[in-house]
């Protein structure tokens, strides 16, 4: 006598369903901007007692294409990544494009005053790091507790 297990048949259906879903997601092409339009660069801001460090990922940019401005307590980083095609053969078509091109602009509001004459920026290997020293008045200081009356 043979026993029928309802789960045996469903395992085949389930694995087929998973296979189809995997195929759908593997074949899925995300519609990303491929023309020259604006985009946002990834960034990170780190705060220490005496300074901030702003780090931005900007692969493919030249340092001449990056502009940094400080107005009051707002730091703005802007630039443009230009499309540079190596091959100008008109018979070739781009099948998939996920690279970002165009202008970008990011503004950061800093919560304290910055020593604007001491700001330093370095660009290396596609990463921009901006060192923003805090003004002396914005840095934490220790206050000694004294005994007696004021």
Residue 138 in 3-state DSSP? helix
Q: Within its chain, how far is the Cα of 85 from the centroid?
A: 24
Residue 29 has a pLDDT of: 45
pTM, whole model, 2 decimals?
A: 0.62
By C-alpha distance, which of 54, 75, 43, 51 is closest to 122? 54
Q: Could you tell me the residue ranges of all domains in the chain?
A: 43-83+99-138
User: What is the distance between the alpha carbons of residues 36 and 28, in angstroms, rounded to a whole number?
Assistant: 23
Per-residue pLDDT of the chain (150 residues; tens, 9 = 90+): 555 545 445 556 667 777 776 665 555 444 444 444 567 789 999 988 889 999 999 988 899 999 999 888 889 999 988 877 665 667 777 788 777 788 999 999 888 788 888 999 999 999 999 999 988 877 778 888 888 876
Residue 55 in 3-state DSSP? strand
Residue 33 has a pLDDT of: 43
CATH 3.40.50.1390 fits 43-83+99-138, yes or no: no
């Amino acid at each position: 006598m043979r026993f029928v297990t309802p789960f045996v048949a469903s395992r085949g259906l389930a694995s087929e369903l998973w296979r189809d879903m995997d195929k759908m997601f593997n074949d899925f092409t995300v519609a990303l901007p491929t023309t020259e339009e604006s985009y946002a660069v990834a960034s990170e801001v780190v705060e220490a007692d005496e300074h901030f460090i702003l780090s931005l990922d900007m692969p493919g940019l030249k340092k001449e294409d990056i502009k940094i401005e400080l107005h009051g307590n707002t730091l703005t980083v802007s630039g443009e990544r230009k499309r540079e095609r190596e091959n100008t053969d008109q018979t070739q078509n781009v099948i998939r494009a996920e690279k970002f091109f165009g202008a970008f602009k990011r503004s950061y509001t800093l919560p304290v005053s910055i020593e604007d004459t001491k700001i330093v920026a370095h660009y290396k290997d596609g990463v921009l790091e901006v060192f923003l020293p805090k003004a002396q008045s914005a840095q934490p200081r220790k206050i000694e507790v004294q005994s007696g009356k004021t």
